[in-house]
């Protein structure tokens, strides 16, 4: 960092990026990345009660899971679908 911010203006090199202190902006970026930037490695099929909970911004519990399709590890992108196969959410396993 000292190299980039050398006090002699003629010798400054590089670009400094200052951190954004607004955590809401960071969260929106992370959610966008999960929703649109990752390819789901599997599907989690959930029941109607769990689908309603997710639509109301609640957590998904194991009791609402009907089946799991695909091979994926922890922190893999997954698609959450209802019993009819309609995607209602994406997340990380």
Tens-digit pLDDT profile for residues 12-52: 566 767 766 666 666 778 888 888 889 999 999 999 999 99
Tell me the C-alpha to C-alpha distance, in Å, between residue 76 and each of 4, 15, 24, 92. Answer: 36, 33, 23, 5
Take residue 50 and report the two structure tokens written for it: 């769990």
Task: Determine what percent of the chain is predicted with pLDDT higher than 70.
Answer: 73
Looking at the predicted structure, is the pLDDT value of residue 10 above 70? no
Contact 82, 45 (CB under 8 A): yes
Q: What is the rounded average pLDDT of the residues 57-80?
A: 93
């Amino acid at each position: 960092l000292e190299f980039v911010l050398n006090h002699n203006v003629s010798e400054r090199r590089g670009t400094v990026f200052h951190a954004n202190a607004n955590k809401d902006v960071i969260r929106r970026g992370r959610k966008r990345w999960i929703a649109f930037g990752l390819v789901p490695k599997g599907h989690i099929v959930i029941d109607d009660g769990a689908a309603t909970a997710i639509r109301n911004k609640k957590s998904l519990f194991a009791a609402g899971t009907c089946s799991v399709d695909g091979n994926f590890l922890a922190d893999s992108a997954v698609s959450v679908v209802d019993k009819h196969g309609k995607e209602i959410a994406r997340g990380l396993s």
